[in-house]
């Protein structure tokens, strides 16, 4: 995979974009989860704080009602009469106490205790039966004796009175002289606190505590086993705490009542958070997976939108490198890649135009060069022929002059009158025959020409005047100073080159042999250099260049010569069977 990323632009973009998207998704998931966790935790704390305050307010309101009830009883005639020990209807007093008790939704016990004989009237089923002469010194009674108002006493489960009592309110009933006649007592059982907690703290299944000033748990919603002296410290609350509200180290929200001195504590639910966070984490995991899938799709689409045009551009550049300038990208985009594609198409189009112009100029140059070469003639031929006419004129051989002139005119007419650069092999052979006839006027019957060319080759087209210079060289240089017979043999055969299309083009191989004086190795090397020296070596240089221009590198002249044994020239030419208007152009483009 690392190798693909290193070598492929697509994989590099894809990996980069996917990594960015993945990091973004994971970062957003982490931040979102953390923020949600923090917000939910704060909401839980605030909700529990509100619950603790609600319980505090409800307890304060309830105790205030009880305090007002005690104040009303303190001024009630029946109660005053009972406390003074006067004769009265006790049943009417008990009935009045029961009516007050039943006016509250929470069931409480209301008692009137006469100090003189410890007589007690109570709404409690069992009443207070364990009083003795020391009871005024007990907690609630002692506090009531010291206060002119109703006193509150918050007890733990091991208090002196009933084990079910959690809060007690008492007021000392006094005569006109301020002497204590008895006590009015309201006992608030645990069930009353249960009702308040259930009413105010029903949103979470967590524990609720009520703590007194001594850090004793007087009420625990989990049961009496958790209640007792000094147990509030187990929940992170200590008696030195000065704040009226806040969160303990053990994750309890608390609210303290300045009026009653009681502290309400509400446990912040951790289990609820776990229950909510579990499906949330699953939802986040699904969201992350979906986001990763979308990131894969998005990264792949983005990478392909960049890499595909580049790959297409590389492919098109390869075709241009191979020479195909007609290809175009044709990007239908307006971004930077589209502008790059348009610039490439514009550049390719201009290069194609320049190449076409260069090809046209090269073609024109090729045509000019080939026609110039085809018009070149070895001046020695004309000099020798004119010199031959001159000497025959001096000798008065008019008929010879006529014959020479006729043959010369035939040669010149065939050379000049043919507009095409290509002629049939038969046409080229007529020029050679006329030329040889002129040369016979000098060499006589010693000069002979043998032609061995198949009849089917006579209709093929070859560049004009490619055989005549070779035959001329054979006569002028091969038979210079020779007294014996001068024989020239021309043979031709067709050869199809491998890989040529079946369009009628092929190759013709001519072999021109003479039995003249031949050449030494030095002379042969000099000739094969095909260098023109003034008016010398025009013919072979001309033939070699035109053979290559009309054909390819395999065309041209190959010479074999041995001193005293003659010379053999092999000429390979491209030939075509049918001449058309575009033939020259076709041959040129093949070159």
Residue pLDDT, tens place only, 507-542: 899 999 988 888 888 887 877 776 555 444 556 777
CA atoms in the 13 A half-sphere facing the CB of 8: 15
Tokens of 217: 């748990």
Q: Tell me the Ramachandran region of residue 296: left when phi exceeds 0, alpha when psi lies from -120 to 50, beta otherwise.
A: alpha
Residue pLDDT, tens place only, 103-154: 666 667 888 888 888 888 888 766 565 666 777 777 788 888 888 888 888 8
Which has the higher per-residue pLDDT, 75 or 159? 75
Neighbouring C-beta atoms of residue 83, cutoff 10 Å: 24
Which has the higher per-residue pLDDT, 405 or 307? 405
pLDDT of residue 4: 52
User: Model confidence at 587, in pLDDT bands (50, 70, 90)?
Assistant: very low
Tokens of 27: 């970062």
SS3 135: helix
**What are the CB-based long-range contacts (under 8 Å, 24+) for 522-531?**
523/561, 524/559, 524/561, 527/559, 528/559, 530/557
Residue 295 has pLDDT above 60, yes or no: yes
Residue 580 has pLDDT above 60, yes or no: no
**Placement of tokens 């198409």 in the chain:** 345
Please name the residues in contact with 528: beta carbons below 8 A apart, sequence gap of 6 or more: 559
Neighbouring C-beta atoms of residue 109, cutoff 10 Å: 24
Which has the higher per-residue pLDDT, 484 or 534? 484
Residue 379 has pLDDT above 80, yes or no: no
β-bridge mates for residue 507, sequence order: 495, 574
β-bridge mates for residue 488, sequence order: 449, 514
- From 556, 571, 477, select the one nearest 520 (Cα to Cα): 477
The CA dihedral of 544, 548, 551, 554, to the nearest 10 degrees, is: 90
Point out the least confidently predicted range of 33-37, 168-172, 219-223, 271-275: 271-275
Which has the higher per-residue pLDDT, 335 or 262? 262
Residue pLDDT, tens place only, 386-440: 877 887 888 887 888 888 888 778 777 766 666 677 888 888 888 888 888 888 8
Residues in the chain: 591
**Candidates 3.90.1300.10, 3.30.565.10, 3.40.190.10, 1.10.10.10; CATH matching 376-590:** 3.30.565.10
Q: Write the DSSP assignment of 303-344 as a string of letters.
A: HHHHHHHHHHHHHHHHHHHTT-TT--------SHHHHHHHHH
Q: Give the homologous superfamily in CATH for domain 1-323.
A: PAS domain (3.30.450.20)
3-state helix, strand, coil split of the chain in percent (to 5) is 55, 20, 30
Measured between alpha carbons, how far is 541 from 469 in angstroms, rounded to an integer?
10
Measured between alpha carbons, how far is 585 from 128 in angstroms, rounded to an integer?
136
Measured between alpha carbons, how far is 139 from 152 in angstroms, rounded to an integer?
10
Mean pLDDT score, 361-379: 57
Which of the residue ranges 307-316, 465-474, 567-576 has the most confident prediction, judged by mean pLDDT? 567-576
Measured between alpha carbons, how far is 423 from 573 in angstroms, rounded to an integer?
13
Sketch the domain layout of the chain as residue ranges: 1-323, 376-590
pLDDT of residue 34: 76
Which has the higher per-residue pLDDT, 535 or 26? 26
pLDDT of residue 575: 81
């Amino acid at each position: 995979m690392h190798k693909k990323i290193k070598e492929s632009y697509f994989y590099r973009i894809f990996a980069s974009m996917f990594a960015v998207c993945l990091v973004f998704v994971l970062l957003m998931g982490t931040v979102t989860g953390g923020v949600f966790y923090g917000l939910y935790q704060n909401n839980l704390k605030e909700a529990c704080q509100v619950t603790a305050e609600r319980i505090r307010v409800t307890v304060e309101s309830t105790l205030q009602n009880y305090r007002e009830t005690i104040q009303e009883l303190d001024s009630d005639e029946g109660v005053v009469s009972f406390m003074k020990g006067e004769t009265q209807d006790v049943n009417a007093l008990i009935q009045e106490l029961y009516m007050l008790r039943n006016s509250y939704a929470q069931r409480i016990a209301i008692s009137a205790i006469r100090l003189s004989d410890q007589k007690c009237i109570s709404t409690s089923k069992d009443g207070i039966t364990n009083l003795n002469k020391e009871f005024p010194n007990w907690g609630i009674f002692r506090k009531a004796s010291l206060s002119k108002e109703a006193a509150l006493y918050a007890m733990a489960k091991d208090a002196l009175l009933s084990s079910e009592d959690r809060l007690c309110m008492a007021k000392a009933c006094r005569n006109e002289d301020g002497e204590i006649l008895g006590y009015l007592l309201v006992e608030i059982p645990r069930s009353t606190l249960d009702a308040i907690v259930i009413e105010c703290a029903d949103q979470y299944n967590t524990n609720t505590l009520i703590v007194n000033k001594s850090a004793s748990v007087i009420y625990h919603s989990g049961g009496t086993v958790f209640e007792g002296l000094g147990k509030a410290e187990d929940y992170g609350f200590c008696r030195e705490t000065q704040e009226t509200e806040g969160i303990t180290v053990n994750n309890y929200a608390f609210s303290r009542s300045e009026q009653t001195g009681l502290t309400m504590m509400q446990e912040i639910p951790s289990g609820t958070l776990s229950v909510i966070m579990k499906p949330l984490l699953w939802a986040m995991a699904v969201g992350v997976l979906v986001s990763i899938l979308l990131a894969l799709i998005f990264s792949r689409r983005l990478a392909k939108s960049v890499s595909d045009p580049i790959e297409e551009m590389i492919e098109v550049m390869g075709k241009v490198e191979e020479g195909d300038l007609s290809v175009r990208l044709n990007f239908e985009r307006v971004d930077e890649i589209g502008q790059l594609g348009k610039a490439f198409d514009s550049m390719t189009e201009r290069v194609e135009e320049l190449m076409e112009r260069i090809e046209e100029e090269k073609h024109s140059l090729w045509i000019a060069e080939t026609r110039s070469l085809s018009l070149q003639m070895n001046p020695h031929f004309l000099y020798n022929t004119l010199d031959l006419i001159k000497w025959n004129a001096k000798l008065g051989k008019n008929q010879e002059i006529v014959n020479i002139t006729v043959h010369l005119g035939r040669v010149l007419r065939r050379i000049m009158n043919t507009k095409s650069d290509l002629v049939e092999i038969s046409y080229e052979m007529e020029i050679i025959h006329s030329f040889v006839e002129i040369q016979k006027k000098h060499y006589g019957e010693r000069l002979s020409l043998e032609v061995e060319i198949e009849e089917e080759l006579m209709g093929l087209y070859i560049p004009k005047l490619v055989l005549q210079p070779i035959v001329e060289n054979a006569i002028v240089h091969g038979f210079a100073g020779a007294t014996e017979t001068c024989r020239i043999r021309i043979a031709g055969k067709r050869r199809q080159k491998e890989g040529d299309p079946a369009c009628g083009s092929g190759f013709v191989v001519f072999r021109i042999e003479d039995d003249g004086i031949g050449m030494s190795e030095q002379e042969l090397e000099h000739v094969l250099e095909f260098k023109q020296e003034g008016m010398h070596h025009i013919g072979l240089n001309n033939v070699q260049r035109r053979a290559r221009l009309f054909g390819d590198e395999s065309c041209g002249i190959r010479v074999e010569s041995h001193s005293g044994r003659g010379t053999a020239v092999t000429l390979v030419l491209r030939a075509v069977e049918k001449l058309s208007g575009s033939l020259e152009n076709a041959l040129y483009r093949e070159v």
